[in-house]
Amino acid sequence: MKKIKYRIQYSKTDAARFTSHLDVARAISRTLRRAGLPVAFSLGFNPAPRLSFGPPLPLGLESEAEFFDLELTADLAAEAVFQALKETLPPGLKVIKVQRLIGKTSSLMAGIKALSYQFLLQPHAELGQLQVKSLLEQLWTKSELPVMKRTKSGEQVVNIRPLWLDYRLDFEPEGLVFLTIKVEFGPRGTIRPDDFCTFLAQDFQIRRVIRKAAFFEEKVI
């Protein structure tokens, strides 16, 4: 039976940000049944929908860049899949884009090469734009940003600086600062937002963190 693959981008906000990656996967699986889509199932004694998900989002974070790949047994228009999901996804999950994948494409975990996160920051002191820019420039120019990581052999200090690819600052009239960072995702690892927050906490109150984008090896969505 021919299987047609689709890539779905969705957001995770509000109360849904406290739902675990596994529970989101279960909720989406139930959604597919309610939506009446012709979902392809795996073979074996316990057939399951042919779904694969992108990088897990740390609990408590919001995201505009969550993804799952879905296989159907019928060639539906992307818009039809979009509408079916739009009407049935649970609160806090919202479909953003659906793309029908053509030809061979990398899996989500292999195809994503970078992620971006946006931090909404409130400076602790009366820091002006120049001071904020200087603080971030100092952080950017460091050769090492050490964090403690739990590994199979126990805890060890890891330098996450090589995984930090870029950043941008945007200033709000109320004194708030939007910091957007781009980080590597792949075999060398990635930067967890909570690890990066340890380098911001001395000078800023972190009001909100959201995953903004995923950057793919090939442009598919």
* Alpha carbon distance 157, 80 (integer Å): 48
Q: Which among 186, 171, 185, 172 is positioned nearest to 136, based on CA atoms?
A: 171
* Alpha carbon distance 160, 184 (integer Å): 10
Q: Are residues 117 and 95 in the same domain?
A: no
What pLDDT is attached to residue 188? 93
Q: What is the CATH number of the domain that holds 44?
A: 3.30.70.580
What pLDDT is attached to residue 1? 66
Q: Are residues 13 and 96 in the same domain?
A: yes
Q: Are residues 61 and 85 in the same domain?
A: yes
Q: Are residues 61 and 129 in the same domain?
A: no
Can you spell out the DSSP letters for 95-160? EEEEEE--S----HHHHEEEEEEEEEEEESS---HHHHHHHHHHHHH-S--EEEEEETTEEEEEE-
Q: Are residues 171 and 207 in the same domain?
A: yes
* Alpha carbon distance 127, 137 (integer Å): 15
Say if CB 61 and CB 211 are below 8 A apart.
yes
Can you spell out the DSSP letters for 59-70? TT-EEEEEEEEE
What pLDDT is attached to residue 218? 64
Residues of the chain with pLDDT under 70: 1, 218-221
Q: Which among 171, 190, 187 is positioned nearest to 179, based on CA atoms?
A: 171
pLDDT in tens, 48-83: 889 999 999 999 999 999 999 999 999 999 999 999
Domain boundary among 53, 84, 105: 105
Say if 97 falls within a structural domain.
yes
Q: Are residues 91 and 138 in the same domain?
A: no
Q: What is the CATH number of the domain that holds 152?
A: 3.30.70.3190
Say if 14 falls within a structural domain.
yes
Q: Are residues 145 and 90 in the same domain?
A: no
Say if 33 falls within a structural domain.
yes
Domain boundary among 47, 79, 105: 105
Q: Do β-strands 204-216 and 62-72 pair in parallel, antiparallel, or remain unpaired?
A: parallel
What pLDDT is attached to residue 31? 92
Say if 221 falls within a structural domain.
no
Sign of CA dihedral 34, 96, 116, 113: positive
Local structure of 176: helix, strand or coil: coil
| Domains contained in the chain, number | 2
What domain range is 161 assigned to? 113-216
Say if 172 falls within a structural domain.
yes
What pLDDT is attached to residue 104? 85
Q: Are residues 72 and 133 in the same domain?
A: no
Say if 127 falls within a structural domain.
yes
Say if 207 falls within a structural domain.
yes
* Alpha carbon distance 40, 121 (integer Å): 44
* Alpha carbon distance 7, 221 (integer Å): 8
